[in-house]
Amino acid sequence: MTEDTIKRRARGLDRAFDILDFLKEIGQPLRPNEIASGIGSPKSTVYELVASLLERRILEPVGKDGHVYLGRQLYFLGQAHLRHFDLTREADHALQEIVSQTRETAQMCLLNGRKYTVALMKEGERHFRISSDIGENAPIPWTASGRLLLAHLSDDEIVDLIDHDDFILPNGDRLPLETFLREIRQAGIDGFFSFDSVADTFTHCFAAPVKDPNGVAIATLCIVAPRADAKNNYNDYRRVLIDSANNLARRINE
């Protein structure tokens, strides 16, 4: 295989992942020409890749108008991943324990490239439910977890990672970079971060890091609680969350 062939196949693989990522972000079936416009790739290339992904059941046809969407083969691949991914399996138990001790909604959160995502969630044992869309990407600066997941990076690496517009908060204010970096450094020292959610006006978010053997946060465990309850139970929630994150880290690093 020539070097040009290797590079061409690598570019095709990159574009195939662009197609999958774009469909995930849009959240609905699209025609190949719509996908091509969305990812900025030639239509001929996208049509060829879509055909290949359909053949492998990575994509599936939807309806009779040429729409395609993420296929069931991805589900089976995901299940295979879960069976062998200790973090996900162990985190599910950790989240259930957090809920049983606090009655609040508990989450495991990760970085997804340049964004933040909720990977797992257990809803709280309350009549008033707080929930998030699992797998939906959000700007890192909007999150308590983001302060912990970036703590191992240098200031320059953080600036390079985050899109400039992601510092614009939901209310239209811009989060100063200096404030964000200062909070990251303090969160790294404390092994914990919490704040009133910037995405709504009624919840408070707690986050604690799950670290690998090198001390890098590979995930966070989080509690999302109504602000009044978070204030009244702050120390208990903080203790439960940090203990749970540390226990999870020990189990997956053994």
> pTM of the predicted model, to two decimals?
0.69
Long-range contacts of 174-178 (CB under 8 A, 24+ apart): 175/141
Indicate the length of the chain as a whole number: 254
Tell me what percent of the residues of the chain surpass a pLDDT of 90: 59
Residue 116 pLDDT > 70, yes or no? yes
Residue 128 pLDDT level (bands cut at 50, 70, 90): low
Report residue 185 as tokens: 């450094």
**3-class secondary-structure state, position 222:** strand
**What is the pLDDT averaged over residues 78-107?**
83
How far is residue 228 from each of residues 96, 127, 195, measured CA to CA in Å? 22, 15, 13
Report residue 71 as tokens: 């296929």
Region label for 218, one of left (φ > 0), alpha (ψ between -120 and 50) or beta (otherwise):
alpha
Report residue 50 as tokens: 């879509």
**Higher pLDDT, residue 254 or 5:** 254
| pLDDT digits 0-9 by tens, 17-61 | 899 989 988 889 999 999 999 988 888 889 999 999 998 889 999
Q: For all residues of the chain together, what is the average pLDDT?
A: 88
**Whose structure tokens read 């978010």?**
205
| pLDDT digits 0-9 by tens, 147-167 | 999 999 999 999 999 999 999
